[in-house]
């Protein structure tokens, strides 16, 4: 059984490498620096007196596909629908002269992806906003967290503009999806390779 499993994995790895769009991770325009630790990626950008970091994790970032049922009738030679990774991401804005950072928890609503016609709508939304002590690894649950569900829309718009002024806008979000998808695919191939070595290990 293990031999067949290893052979299957070898074929699968070759297939995945064939469809891999990016051999190296795509860059994000606007002077963002990328750090990757396993499945977590961090983008850092410094502008006048501020440091902006965007963190996301690719785990569980591929939305469940609605085409599950149609998979069955698919002809073998048809391309599978492309998987897109749309991770939640956290934007942290740190001002040089304060001990606090403003943290905005953003996500891609599942129903928004793919509505290219509507120019107006944002492709990501802000879910929560809070202040956290700068540089602390563990954020406190005791800090007030503003949930945007019940938020005055004018305040929400200002928060979106605040992000856009710092380079976090729709085109950034598009590039983030592309980066995350490439990273997810890279990690998936690595996982298959590790699994193959594990299965072959006597």
pLDDT of residue 86: 95
Domain membership of residue 164 (yes or no) is yes
Which of 37-46, 109-118, 147-156, 177-186 has the lowest average pLDDT?
A: 109-118
The residue behind tokens 């996500």 is: 107
Domain membership of residue 103 (yes or no) is yes
Token pair for residue 71? Answer: 């998979």
Q: Where is 190: in which H helix or E strand?
A: helix 170-200
* DSSP assigned state of 32: -
pLDDT of residue 65: 67
What CATH number is associated with residue 88? Answer: 3.10.280.10
Range of the domain at 179: 1-59+84-109+121-200
Q: Which residues contact 55 (CB under 8 A, 6 or more apart)?
A: 40, 41, 42, 43, 89, 90, 92
Domain membership of residue 68 (yes or no) is no
**66-70, 93-97, 113-117, 138-142 — most confident range:** 93-97
pLDDT of residue 72: 43
pLDDT of residue 117: 46
pLDDT of residue 74: 44
Domain membership of residue 131 (yes or no) is yes
Sorting pLDDT into bands at 50, 70 and 90, what band is 202?
A: low
User: Which residues are paired to 105 by β-bridges?
Assistant: 90, 128
Domain membership of residue 72 (yes or no) is no
Token pair for residue 115? Answer: 């509505």
The number of domains in the chain is 1
pLDDT at 76 exceeding the cut of 50? no
Domain membership of residue 37 (yes or no) is yes
């Amino acid at each position: 059984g293990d031999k067949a499993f290893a052979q299957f994995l070898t074929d699968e790895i070759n297939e995945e490498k064939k469809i891999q769009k990016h051999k190296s991770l795509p860059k994000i325009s606007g002077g963002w620096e990328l750090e990757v630790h396993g499945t977590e990626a961090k983008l850092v950008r410094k502008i006048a007196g501020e440091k902006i970091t965007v963190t996301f994790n690719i785990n569980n970032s591929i939305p469940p596909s609605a085409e599950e049922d149609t998979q069955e009738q698919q002809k073998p030679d048809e391309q599978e629908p492309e998987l897109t990774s749309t991770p939640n991401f956290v934007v942290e804005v740190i001002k040089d002269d304060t001990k606090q950072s403003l943290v905005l928890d953003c996500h891609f609503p599942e129903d928004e992806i793919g509505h290219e016609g509507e120019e107006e709508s944002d492709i990501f939304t802000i879910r929560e906003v809070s202040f956290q002590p700068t540089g602390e690894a563990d954020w406190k649950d005791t800090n007030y967290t503003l949930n945007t569900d019940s938020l005055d829309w004018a305040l929400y718009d200002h928060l979106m503009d605040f992000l856009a002024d710092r380079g976090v806008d729709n085109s950034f979000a598009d590039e983030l999806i592309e980066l995350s998808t490439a990273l997810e695919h890279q990690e998936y191939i690595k996982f298959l390779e590790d699994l193959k070595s594990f299965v072959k290990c006597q």
